[in-house]
Structure 1
Amino acid sequence: MVSNAPASQHGHASEKAYRWIKQKILANRWPDGAALKERDLSQEIGVSRTPVRDALRRLTQEGLVETIPNQGSRLKRWDSADLEEIFGLRVLLESYGARMAATRVTEQELAQLHALCDSMDALVAEEMQSAEAKQQLTRLNERFHETILQAAHSHRLAALAAQLISFPLVYRTFETYEPNEIFRSMAHHRELLDAFGARDPIWAESIMRAHLSAGHRSTSRSLVKITESGVNA
């Protein structure tokens, strides 16, 4: 009998490396363009270099990492064209998802969305300027958008949109928002719930489109500031 243990262990190590590196990318552990050295990562994660190489290859396919010939891997550098594409795709996919969710959302899913909104509103009311609170808000916001996609009950749509929601530029959105932008985003969330409660697909689609367009504008502003600070450093 042939044992599959080595292959299984390698798969586990590769998944461990992938999740560890991706979590650090989304948490803004490294600046855009930072070198990702296999040896350093393998020592920090506690796996060999082969699983790290597999993880970096997978993250390259997802667009989070880029490979430079004769230099190795580095964190993807983002620019306004990337932002335009990401939010353009999100508007198309998530506004369609909101439209579908308005007529397909279950009572349980609607209750989950209300609970997420309550948690976000509580954070905004208590510590809106806290960096930790904004990180929590970001995670709750991601779950809110994922739940809407799940409520559309379309596996294809969920698969297409999943990576766009977790892009670093999108994931770190609330860290750069001004107070009025956070309040506006929370108001959009509540109006989406009103549209879902009314089972109105056109209303839900229009609010999601406005919500993401506003997010695009705010994130573009912060990207310009980051770019200018890098040039002037």
Structure 2
Amino acid sequence: MEKKTTSSIIDVTNINEKIYDYIKKNISNQHFPSGYKLNIRQLSETLGVSYTPIKDALFRLAGEGLIEITSRTGTYVKNITETDIQEILQIRIILETTVIEEIARKINDKQLQSLNDLYQKSVSIVVNPNDCESYKIFMDYDSRFHISFFEIMGNKRLLHIYQTLNAHMQIVRFRLFNHALGKLPTTDEEHRMILEALYEHNAAKAKQAAANHLTRLKKLCDTIKLDPGNQDARGK
């Protein structure tokens, strides 16, 4: 009798990377919240794949600080504390302002158009309170707008560092939404000022616009308790 197998919901092409992306995305959008126990067997059955690529993905995510693996209790989504958030934002300010200052001198028309397209799409998204789906769309454009700076820079190692950092930032963005802030009212204008400076190839102006944008976000996080606290799902 032929053994029944679970059909895969993951395209088997480049399977390791896709499973890694799947788990990472579910952590970033809080579908797997802080303290959530990641069960390898359950993931294997859900995705229709063997344990090996799942274990590989979990080890990568542990290295990025998104999960913790313990021999006694299992594998859990790591809690990102308020201290973690402040450190992440400090690093982001240093990296992003430096990169924007650099690319302002060399960005070309095609790259500017691509950034402008992302900006226009972001502006068009109206996010109402409790409208998580529209916020996800906005957050995707917002994230791609900022990652584009590092792609234009052309430094693969720097891009990798920022992409790892951005996974943590996605969690912060969702926590902001959960505090009924939704799409922050100054975001569109601050993005416009960054873009305007890049069109002018004004490195100092672009750096300052980015610093203002990110510093405002950091100050906002200083005033709001973003630690999930009793939302931690460990043991549930």
TM-score range, shorter chain: 0.7 to 0.9
Of residues 95-104 and 156-165 in structure 1, the stretch that sits farther from structure 2 once superposed is: 156-165
Aligned counterparts of 1:57 and 1:116: Cα–Cα separation in 2: 33
> 1:141 — aligned with what?
142
Superposition deviation, residue 11 in structure 1: 8.9
User: Which residue in 1 is equivalent to 2:156?
Assistant: 155
Instruction: Give the structure with the higher percent helix.
Output: 1
In 1: Cα distance, 2:116 partner to 2:70 partner = 45
2:133 alignment counterpart: 132
Name the counterpart of 2:75. 73
Query: CA separation in 2, counterparts of 1:171 and 1:116?
Result: 18
How much has 1:78 moved relative to structure 2? 1.0
- Letter paired with 1:201: A
Pairing of 1:164-203 with structure 2 (within 5 A): 164-167=165-168, 168-172=170-174, 175-176=177-178, 178=181, 182-203=184-205
Name structure 1 gaps, 5 residues minimum.
Answer: 1-9
Inter-partner Cα distance in structure 1 for 2:175 and 2:111: 24
- Most deviating of 19-28 and 34-43: 19-28
How far apart are 1:120 and its partner, in Å? 1.2
Tell me the secondary structure at the aligned position of residue 76 of structure 2. strand
Q: Give the share of equivalent positions with the same residue, in percent.
A: 25
**Greater Cα offset, 152-161 or 24-33:** 152-161
Q: Judging changes above 3 Å, is the alpha-carbon distance between structure 1 residues 17 and 33 closer, same or farther for their aligned structure 2 residues?
A: same
Work out whether 1:121 is the aligned partner of 2:123: yes
SS at match of 1:74: strand
- Once the 2 structures are TM-superposed, how far is the Cα of residue 112 of structure 1 from its aligned partner? 1.1
C-alpha separation in 1, matches of 2:175 and 2:146: 13
Q: Where in structure 2 are there 5+ consecutive unaligned residues? A: 1-11
| Residues 27 and 171 in structure 2, CA contact (< 8 A), matched pair in contact too | no
Determine the structure 1 residue equivalent to 2:9. Answer: none
Compute the displacement of 1:13 (Å). Answer: 3.8
Could you tell me how far 1:59 is from its partner in structure 2?
0.8
TM-score by length of 2: 0.83
- Corresponding letter in the other structure for 1:114: N
TM-score (norm 1): 0.84
Q: 1:128 to 1:121 in 2, by over 3 A?
A: farther
Aligned 8 A contact 1:65 1:73 in 2: yes
SS at match of 2:80: coil
User: Which moved further from structure 2: 148-157 or 217-226?
Assistant: 217-226
**Are the structure 2 counterparts of residues 211 and 48 from structure 1 closer, same or farther at C-alpha, using a change threshold of 3 Å?**
same
Indicate the residue corresponding to 1:48 in structure 2: 50
Q: Is the deviation greater in 82-91 or in 152-161?
A: 152-161
Name the CA distance, whole Å, in 2 between partners of 1:120 and 1:109.
17
Contact 1:104 1:153 in 2 (8 A): no
Structure 2 Cα separation of the partners of residues 185 and 24 of structure 1: 25
Output the CA distance in 1 between the equivalents of 2:230 and 2:188. Answer: 29
